[in-house]
Amino acid sequence: MGFVDITGLDGVRTQGHEVVDVADITENAPELHRQLRLDERPHIEQVMIIKKANDRSVFRGKKLVMSRLHAEELILALMAYYGVPDRERLFTVYSDFSPCEARCDRKLPATTDRIFSARHGVGDYHGKMTRLLTEASQVLPKDPAFREELAAEKERKDALKEGNTKHRYETAAKANKVMRSGRGGHCGRHDHRAGLVLVPQAGAMGPECAESTATDTADTGLGKALAEPPSETTGGIDFSSLQLQYLADPGDGSGLQHAFRAAVNVSGRDLRPSSGLAAATQTSDAFFVWLSLHPHSFWVNLHPDEPDRIVDDQLGRTDAGRVLLEADLQMKKTVGKLIHPHTPLGKRYWDGIRGDCVSSRNWILPAPATVYQDDDKLYILDAPLDVKTETDDGAAAGAPSCLRQDQATEEHNEHLERTLLLPRLRKAINTAPEYAALRRVYLARVAAEWYRDLSLRKDTAYGELVNSGDITEWRITDGWKPRDTFDAHVDSYMKGEFKVTDRTTSGGTTYVRRYVYGGVDFTSVPLRELSEERFGTEFATLPASVDRSLRAPSVTGRGDAVWLGAPTPRQAVAGLGPAEKPVSAGTWAIRLLPALLVPFALLLWRRRRRLNTRSASPLRRAATGGGPRRRS
């Protein structure tokens, strides 16, 4: 593998390779830090690790399929491919044995360290393995026991391959159900238990639904990403960051087009397709809940004295209601960590508090969402969440309350909380993984708000669901009840998130501080629509990326995100228009690699020619006309 310095470089495509900060290596891998001599290279702050570098291939006639490159040469080629401009940025090559030949070693920059487990040649690991394999190839095929074992292994691999194929199909079929309701806008049979659409049946829905094959269910960007290993799609999708950011209704009753956005190549990413399927299903269910229920019911409330006003009765039977309640409880736990008196921030907070007692209430609500609407298409460009706070007397069953203090003291404490705690709390809610589900269902809320308005202006596939109040298809079936989260909150409130005893004697008085935090309010969604001019300037390539994602995963130009979409059910069966279907990222890589390697091959040829010219003798240069010339 190659360790490449990408400190300060913008626009480097890192998909398929790991990017780490030197600070992380220093803290978590001190031995690697020593081997890479990073203490001697203080200018290096961020590293890209090129791991897969042993591919070989050949010329076929004059066509370059892939150049015949050894690992060390391929690392340099990949640096150029991924946009690293300086060869000297390759500062370490790490391998199980030494470079293929001396000529390969010479192609590495002089500043590159070489760390190898063994040298090439007779007696090393590589030589021993070659001899063992040669001997085995001459003896084992004649051994009946070996032939029987080989046949059994082949049968095992065939069964494994068949099982993987079945698993991929099943996963793609489940992905095919996302953003579909059983009551309109579909092209298939209805599963009343799940409220979603299964694989279309031949002729079941009339001539508009052509006969479907097994591949139809996987022929979407989302389906392919969930059914294929990461290496076959984009090199590593963080499925925990999956969010709905595009929705369209063609107006022909065929259903919804949709596209999810997810991050790629981030530390701690979740590569499990099952997580992506769960996130997409959660978004889909929330979207239809937001459509079916009236907005006045989109709130939750955790207050120890109000067990009968936890959540709207209908919303409390859905996963969307559960997400809002659990996010409200999580917010209290986050605040508890922020104000812990034994942390630097907590100490600053408590040192700044005035008065004998402080109690406040926080709740989450939408900040203005930035969107772009193109007739029946919606692009959600940004949908942040906000946090509000206000002084509360803290009165609750079984706990003492904070008596009202003078207005100046309360205003001072409120200002301290708004400036010191709320910015960090707001950042956590908008970025931390423990709030990912809340962000997902909120994006579904933004999409549903737009779809409500669209349904007033034109016929839509799911317009009949708006304010219908029917959530039968999206009810929770795992036994969870809103009272479960309420009881967890009461337990947290009464016992406290932390118990710290810092005894301070001041006139024999003990000061007790208690808090009540609560509330998520999604009753209204402020939308800030982007102008066509600004959208064209700032997001010029987005529509094309989304369109490609309907059939295959589509990586953005910067390489930091991937779009996973799907056409409407009818479009999935009939084909998405006359245009050629987009190809997968892996196919594009194979197509583009020859063109990317040609400049590198020319560079090597020019360097070799220059070296040959320098090393030639004076006699040879004279014989070839390369000797000194005089101007007449």
Neighbours of 360 (CB within 10 A): 20
- pTM for the full predicted model: 0.60
**Encoded tokens for 1:** 């593998």
- Convert the pLDDT of each residue in 372-430 to its tens digit: 999 899 999 999 999 888 776 555 444 445 666 788 888 888 889 889 999 999 999 99
Neighbours of 381 (CB within 10 A): 17
Cα separation of 617 and 359, whole Å?
89
Cα separation of 539 and 537, whole Å?
6
pLDDT at 197 over 50: no
From the DSSP assignment, how many helices (H) and strands (E) are in the chain? Answer: 19, 20
Cα separation of 465 and 162, whole Å?
41
pLDDT for the residue numbered 160: 78
pLDDT for the residue numbered 593: 46
pLDDT for the residue numbered 617: 40
Ranges 238-252, 262-276, 286-300: which has the least confidence: 262-276
- Convert the pLDDT of each residue in 322-362 to its tens digit: 999 899 888 888 888 888 888 888 889 888 888 767 777 78
Q: Phi, psi at residue 62, to the nearest 5°?
A: -95, 0
pLDDT band at 184 (very low <50, low <70, confident <90, very high): low
Inter-residue contact 6 to 84 (CB < 8 Å) = yes
Closest C-alpha to 227, from 280, 179, 284, 167: 167
Give strand pairing partners of 353: none
Longest dimension (CA), the chain: 108
Helix axes 319-338, 482-495, angle to 10 degrees: 10
Ranges 79-88, 201-210, 299-308: which has the least confidence: 201-210
**Encoded tokens for 478:** 């795992």
pLDDT band at 466 (very low <50, low <70, confident <90, very high): very high
- Give 472-479's long-range contacts (Cβ < 8 A, gap of 24+): 472/195, 473/181, 473/182, 473/183, 473/192, 473/194, 473/195, 473/196, 473/288, 474/195, 474/285, 474/288, 474/289, 474/292, 474/318, 474/319, 474/320, 475/317, 475/318, 476/317, 476/318, 476/319, 476/322
pLDDT for the residue numbered 228: 65
Give strand pairing partners of 365: 386
Q: Which residue has the tokens 């290596």?
A: 25
Pairwise pLDDT comparison (540 vs 201), residue with the higher score: 540
Which amino acid, residue 544?
A
Rounded to 5 degrees, what angle do the CA atoms 76, 80, 85 make?
A: 105
pLDDT band at 517 (very low <50, low <70, confident <90, very high): very low
Q: Which residue has the tokens 């969010």?
A: 243
Max mean pLDDT among 111-115, 168-172, 505-509 falls in: 111-115
pLDDT at 21 over 70: yes
**Encoded tokens for 456:** 């007033």
Cα separation of 466 and 459, whole Å?
12
- Convert the pLDDT of each residue in 43-60 to its tens digit: 999 999 987 654 444 334
pLDDT for the residue numbered 609: 54
pLDDT for the residue numbered 619: 34
Q: Which residue has the tokens 């997409």?
A: 280
Ranges 37-41, 190-194, 338-342, 433-437: which has the least confidence: 190-194
Inter-residue contact 421 to 339 (CB < 8 Å) = yes
Give Cβ neighbours of residue 208 (< 8 Å, ≥ 6 apart). 187, 254, 570, 574
**Encoded tokens for 116:** 């190898």
